[in-house]
Amino acid sequence: MKQERKSRREGARDRSTVFTEEPIVGEKLDYELLDSGNGEKLERFGDIHLVRPIAHAIWKPQLSASHWKAARGHFQRATGGGGRWKWGSKRVPHSWILQVDQQRFVLKTTSFGHLGIFPEQQQQWRWITDLCESQTEEIEVLNLFAYTGGSTLAAALGGAKVCHVDAARGSVDWARENANRSGLGSHPIRWIVDDVQIFLKREIKRNRRYHGIILDPPSFGRGKKGETWKIETDLVPLLELCKSVLVDKPLFFLLSCHSPGFTPQVLTNLINDVVPNGGERAMGEMLLQGGSVQDLPTGSFARWHSDEKIEASVEEAKESE
Ligand SMILES: C[S@@+](CC[C@H](N)C(=O)[O-])C[C@H]1O[C@@H](n2cnc3c(N)ncnc32)[C@H](O)[C@@H]1O
C-alpha cells in the first residue's frame, strides 16, 4: 500500500511534459508575495505579477511604486461591492498553470478577483499529505467548501480516498481539472456538487463515516439551490453534523477560514467540541510569506490529529457499529 502511494506521488511529479494546452508560465511555476500595503497585495503567480485588495494591509508598502505599477493586472474594488480588473500593457493569458509542491492549479483571473488558489493554505496542504501518507491503512477524507480542490489534491497525494463537496459546479469542474493536471485523474475522489449541510445530513442517513475532515468555510455563501450560508450562525450546527460523520477513532480535523474575528483561538474552541480528548492540536494564522518583505496574515486555522495509527478501514468500522 505504502509503495503504491509513493509511486502515485512520483507519478504526479513525472508529468511535466503532459501540459500542453495552457502556457506554462515562468521557469519555476511558483508563487511569491512580493509586497503588501496601502490595503493591497502584490503577488507573483509564475511570472505574472498581480495586485489585489486586502483591507487590513494598512501599513506602508516596502517596494517602490514602480514595482507595483509593473503588475500585469490590478483588481480594484467597486464602491457598491464587486470590482474589476485593470490590465497593463502585457496581456495575462486566459489561463495558466501554477505548481505548488506536487499540486498543479489552473489559474484564471475571475470577475470577483479570485484566481483559483489560496496559496496561504500551502502549510496545511503539506500537513494533510504527510498525515495521510503516514497511515498504513486506507483512509477516507471529506473536504467541505472544497473550492478548486487544493486540500483534496493534498489528501489524494497522501494516498487517501477523498470526498470533495462544493455547491458551485464551476468550482467542482475546476477542481477536477486540477486533479487531472496533478496526475490524479484516476484517483478515488467523489466529486459532489451540493450544499454542505444537505450533503452531511444525507451522509449521516447513509451511515457513511470519514477518518479526516477539512473545512474552509466562507463568511457568506450559497448552497446548490440558493440556500444561505452564514458563518456566524451556521458553523456550529455544521460542526455538529461533521462530528456525526467522523469514525469513532478519527485521524484528523482541520478548520480554517478567512473571516474577520475568527481567530486561531476561536477556531480551536470550536473544534474542541468535535474532536476527542488527547491527540495533537495546533492553531495559527494563515500567512502569505513575504520572504524579503513582511508576512501577510490572511486568515486562521485550527487543527487536531490523533497520535494513534488508524487500525480499521471505514467499512470495517461500519460493520462493528
Ligand atoms: C472560496 S472557498 C472559501 C475560501 C475562503 N475561506 C474564503 O473566505 O473565501 C468558498 C467555497 O465554498 C463554496 N460554498 C459556499 N457556500 C456553500 C454551501 N452552502 N455549500 C457548499 N459549498 C459552499 C463556494 O462555492 C466556494 O467554492
Summarised one tens digit per residue, pLDDT across range 200-236 is 999 999 999 999 999 999 999 998 888 899 999 999 9
Is the pLDDT at 317 greater than 60? The verdict is no
Query: Which among 80-84, 281-285, 288-292 has the top mean pLDDT?
Result: 281-285
pTM over the 0.85 mark: yes
Average pLDDT estimate for 132-156: 97
Summarised one tens digit per residue, pLDDT across range 273-289 is 999 999 999 999 999 98
In the CATH hierarchy, which top-level class contains the domain 31-101? mainly beta
Higher pLDDT, 21 or 292: 292
Under the banding of pLDDT at 50, 70 and 90, the label for residue 271 is very high
Which CB contacts under 8 angstroms, 24+ apart, belong to 58-64?
59/294, 61/35, 61/36, 61/37, 62/35, 62/37, 62/293, 62/294, 63/34, 63/35, 63/293
Is the pLDDT at 315 greater than 60? The verdict is no
Ligand 1 atom closest to 216 (CA): 6
Ligand 1 atom closest to 145 (CA): 12
Q: Which residue has the cell 492540536?
A: 281
Is the pLDDT at 5 greater than 90? The verdict is no
Whole-number pLDDT of residue 79: 83
Q: Which of 153, 125, 156 lies closest to 254, judged by CA? A: 125
Per-residue b or e along 7-33, where b marks 16 or more CB atoms closer than 10 Å to that residue's CB: ebbeebeeeeeebeeeeebbeebebbb
Report the alpha-carbon angle 203-224-259, nearest 5: 90
DSSP-derived letter for residue 126 is: H
Domain positions in the chain: 31-101, 120-319
Is the pLDDT at 6 greater than 90? The verdict is no
Q: Which amino acid is at 205?
A: K
Is the pLDDT at 190 greater than 50? The verdict is yes
Out of 110, 118, 125, 145, mutate this one to test ligand 1's pocket (max ligand atoms within 8 Å of CB): namely 145
Ligand 1 atom closest to 195 (CA): 20
Average pLDDT estimate for 2-9: 44
Q: Which residue has the cell 471529506?
A: 142
Share of the chain above pLDDT 90, in %: 79
Q: Which residue, by CA, sits nearest to atom 3 of ligand 1? A: 218
The average confidence (pLDDT) of the chain is 89
Whole-number pLDDT of residue 281: 96
Q: Which residue, by CA, sits nearest to atom 25 of ligand 1? A: 168
Summarised one tens digit per residue, pLDDT across range 20-70 is 344 444 334 489 999 999 999 999 999 899 999 999 999 999 999 999 999
Whole-number pLDDT of residue 18: 33
Q: CA–CA separation, 148 vs 196, rounded Å? A: 15
Q: CA–CA separation, 90 vs 210, rounded Å? A: 47
How far is CA 315 from each of CA 17, 164, 211, 309, rounded to the nearest angstrom? 38, 19, 11, 17
Ligand 1 atom closest to 118 (CA): 4
Is the pLDDT at 8 greater than 50? The verdict is no
First to last CA, the chain: 26
Q: Residues lining ligand 1, judged by CB closer than 6 Å?
A: 145, 147, 166-168, 171, 195-196, 216, 218-219, 221-223, 227, 229, 257-258
Average pLDDT estimate for 8-28: 38
Q: What dotted CATH number matches 120-319?
A: 3.40.50.150
